Chains A and B, each alone.
Chain A
Amino acid sequence: MSVDRALVRSIAELARLSISPQHEEAAAIELAAVLDLFEALSAAPVNALQPLSHPGDPELRLRDDVAVAGDQRNAFEVLAPAMSGGYYLVPKVIE
């Protein structure tokens, strides 16, 4: 499976990772090697098998609809890289 730099760039954009042009080539080669690994899956005799997404096939448990007031707001603010007036700040987004 060949992986070109354009593909690396588009995946990196989807994943919001910046990769320097120097590293794109290396990343392409690494990715290609792993994708070769994936090809083995096509030979597996899975036919109509149901995908197993949760080992043990459990059921979703439901919680009672009770609101609990939070008490860690100050602790969260301490962790914030950029906050003002209670809002988290990011560079201006134009919609």
Chain B
Amino acid sequence: MSDWEAVIGLEVHVQLLTHSKIFSSSATAYGAEPNAQANALDLAMPGTLPVMNAHAVALAVRFGLAVDAEIAQRSVFARKNYFYPDLPKGYQISQYELPIVIGGGLHIVTEDGHARYVPLTRAHLEEDAGKSVHDVFHAETGVDLNRAGTPLLEIVTDPALSNASEAVAFLKALHTLVRWLGVSDGNMQEGSFRCDANVSVRQRGAALGTRAEVKNVNSFRFVEKAIDYEIERQIRIIEAGGSIVQETRLFDAHRGETRSMRGKESAHDYRYFPDPDLPPLRIGADLIEAERARMPELPQGRARRYIESLGLSTYDAANLTTDRAVSEYFEALCAAIPGHAKLCANWVSGEWLGALNAADLGPERSPLSAARLAGLLKRIVDGSLSSKMAKQVFDALWRGDESADEISERLGLKKVSDSGALSALVDEVIAAYPAQVAQFRHGNEKVLQFFVGQVMKSSKGQADPVQLNALLRAKLA
């Protein structure tokens, strides 16, 4: 195999978390009945005019600041003209020559620990199109314009990624960031975070190859497969003497391959021109300062702080900074029992997230507050509860609203570490099983576990394992 390298650029369309659409005041909620959320402007009725949503602008500025981009003082909305049923005006209002966000970038770390910086070309505001359904009607396509006019931020990277793994790492970091900032809910199933990849290959040192665009891949796993497949496909074609067609391709998840979009014309002539219904957008210093002032600690900075100040591992820090609500919960927990960051991290990433997932709840809907969970962790720290007991208490904490102490009391859970009581239990078990005692004394170490098990049974799991072990060894010697 000769010296091939891939050049990948990503375009991500992110739906902004606004109550109303970008140019009309229709609601943006997902899942309404077809065309129930489409007003006269969304339906492109004659004489209707666009009016810009202030919050969409604020979110774009917020994003731009978070990636250290330049916020354009003056940006222009342009019409992208083409005919399609889900585009009611026959043009999409977007931004072309003068976008609102310019440059910036994101630091990423791939799964195998390779770190790099991914520069962004730009990000711009535009409106989403509606949806076409082809499988509801026999001989027709149905058009639902509820989504038409939803605000999008289109984020474009430089063609600077070299493989699928980097692409996925970038997308994950971007996904975390937009959710963290409240810019988008990033819901890929509902279409709030849509990735397109531009992929080309070339021999090392050669000029850029022709690129193909793989559109609308809606999971990180599929993005990885699609890019890998596409790179391989292109190399195969070129090595066989063919050439790459500049085209748009779709990823077929069933077959794990990309397919050319049938019936899609070659390069559209979009006839971009500044929208005469919308004067240029001017962003003043006050809007920028307002967004800068409310900028939270960003996930990557926070992860670094967890590693440096709290001594967490890179893995733990990453886990705890993927979702802002999780991170806030973790910090509340740490504040309640300072000095035990690792313990808090384990319980947040382990039991707590596990319980949330099982109940299909988001972190903001946790029935268990950090304060109550802290009550449980304190008992682990001071030794009154073993890990096993603690898990039992956790289940009860989750389901009710008692405190950890109230639950332990109710269930009669208390680590039996009182040497006298434990000693008595050990004596009972040793007396009951003379054969096993003999086996142990003859050198069978494994039999110790049998005794541990028996004592645990008779103590209803409350024996302190460390003490128990020491006692057994002493008495069996």
Contact = CB atoms under 8 A, between A and B. Distances in A.
A65 B55 contact: yes
A66 B263 contact: no
Interface stretch (B26-34, B238-246, B453-461): B26-34
Contact of A86 (B34, B52, B269, B279): B34
B209 interface: no
Q: Could you tell me the dominant secondary structure of chain B's interface residues?
A: loop
A86 B54 contact: no
Nearest to B275: A53
Interface string B424-468: 000000000000000000000000000000000000000000000
Contact of A62 (B28, B35, B54): B54
B288 to A, nearest CB: 14
Contact of A87 (B27, B137, B274, B278): B137
Contacts of A65: 18-20, 53-56
Contact of B25 (A68, A94, A95): A68
B144 A86 contact: yes
B137 A64 contact: no
Contacts of B28: 67
A40 B278 CA distance: 29
Contacts of A58: 279
Interface string B258-279: 0001111000010100101011
A68 B26 contact: yes
B48 to A, nearest CB: 12
A82 to B, nearest CB: 8
A91 interface: yes
A63 B25 contact: yes
B208 interface: no
A47 B140 CA distance: 52
Contacts of B162: none
A65 B52 CA distance: 9
A61 B141 contact: no
B428 to A, nearest CB: 70
B136 A93 contact: no
B376 interface: no
A64 B38 CA distance: 19
A16 to B, nearest CB: 5
Contacts of A14: 269, 271
B117 interface: no
Nearest to B142: A87
A92 B143 contact: no
Interface of A: 14, 16, 51, 53-54, 57-70, 72-73, 76, 82, 84-95
Given A84-B140, A90-B85, A93-B134, 10 more contacts: A14-B269, A54-B276, A60-B282, A62-B57, A63-B53, A67-B19, A67-B27, A88-B35, A89-B142, A95-B132
Q: Which 7 A-B pairs have the closest CB atoms?
A: A87-B142, A65-B55, A62-B54, A86-B34, A67-B27, A88-B143, A68-B25
Interface of B: 18-20, 25-28, 33-40, 43, 45, 51-57, 77, 83, 85, 132-134, 136-137, 139-145, 261-264, 269, 271, 274, 276, 278-282
22 contacts: A54-B276, A57-B279, A60-B77, A60-B278, A60-B279, A61-B52, A62-B53, A67-B25, A68-B27, A70-B37, A72-B40, A76-B38, A82-B140, A87-B35, A87-B137, A87-B142, A90-B140, A93-B85, A93-B132, A95-B261, A95-B262, A95-B263
